[in-house]
Amino acid sequence: MNVRRHGPIAGALAALWLALGAAAGPPVPAATVQADAPHDDFTALLGLLAARRHGRVSFTEVHEMAMLERPLRSAGELLYEAPDHLEKRTLEPRRESLILEHGVLTAQRGRRTHVLSLRDYPQVVPFVESIRATLAGDRAALEHYFHVQFSGDLGHWTLELVPVDATVAHTVRDIRISGAREVIHSVEIRQSDGDRSLLTIGAEVPP
């Protein structure tokens, strides 16, 4: 006989994580067709991006928040392996690592490790996907989560991403990614409450 007890209810509580931010959003609607999407340079850019299989670059990041007197600054390295391994190693001011692999986000900070399955946190997904899908040249993913606006040309381009999902749009106004050809220069995230973060990507780190 199978003797069992108690597990499901108590164990299920860790799902509370979900409720930490805004209430869970409704299911993400299907991508809307962008009237301005088929842009020759945009298509070419995605092709260039998709051709890059891996990269390792330095970064600096600045978070501006209304409740803070001065921005939070950090610096470190970004590692990317196509199509879905993304790693952010913060070296300053404190060591921290953030690994995204197959839709699971693992954050290691001091002694603590947090593991998030992105499927459980629909409101976090657009953030992560904005960078991952851009790096991978994954047009379908980009257009699933965002209204995508391409401006400039291959030599100097900007992607403006506006969240499709209403709950996400409630917290995030837009994400602007700029670069030259297959090299990404910066990712700026502007939140609806005026807070913003700017990730500036620096030189390639020799292996």
Site residues (vs other proteins, CB under 8 A):
1-27, 61, 63, 65, 67-72, 74, 94, 96, 98, 105, 107, 109-110, 112-117, 119-124, 127-128, 171-172, 191, 195, 197
Q: Which is nearer to other proteins, 37 or 124 (CB)?
A: 124
Parallel, antiparallel or unpaired: strands 54-64 and 196-204: antiparallel
- CB-based contact 154:181 (threshold 8 Å): yes
Token readout for 119 is: 């499927």
The CB-of-207 to other proteins minimum distance in angstroms stands at: 26
What's the min distance (Å) between Cβ of 17 and other proteins?
A: 6
- Measured in whole angstroms, how far is the alpha carbon of residue 107 from the centre of its chain? 14
Q: Which two tokens stand for residue 16?
A: 């509370």
Nearest CB to other proteins, comparing residues 42 and 145: 145
The residues, ordered by sequence, that sit 6+ positions from 142 with a Cβ below 8 Å of its Cβ are 129, 130, 133, 134, 148, 159, 161
Please, which residue, 137 or 197, has the CB nearer to other proteins?
A: 197
The CA angle 133-113-22, to the nearest 5 degrees, is 60
Other C-beta atoms lying within 10 Å of the C-beta of residue 137: 20
Pick the closer one to other proteins by CB: 46 or 133: 133
CB of 124 to other proteins, least distance (A): 6
Output 45 or 199, the one with its CB closest to other proteins.
Answer: 199
Q: How far is the CB of 155 from other proteins (least distance, A)?
A: 31
Q: To the nearest whole angstrom, how small is the minimum distance from the Cβ of residue 48 to other proteins?
A: 26
User: From residue 34, how far is each of 5, 30, 67, 106, 148 by CA, in Å?
Assistant: 51, 12, 36, 33, 7
Q: What is the C-alpha to C-alpha distance for residues 91 and 202, in angstroms, rounded to an integer?
A: 14
Give the count of beta carbons closer than 10 Å to the beta carbon of residue 66: 8
Nearer to other proteins, 88 or 176 (CB): 88
Length of the chain measured in residues: 207
* Minimal distance, residue 45 CB to other proteins, in Å: 25
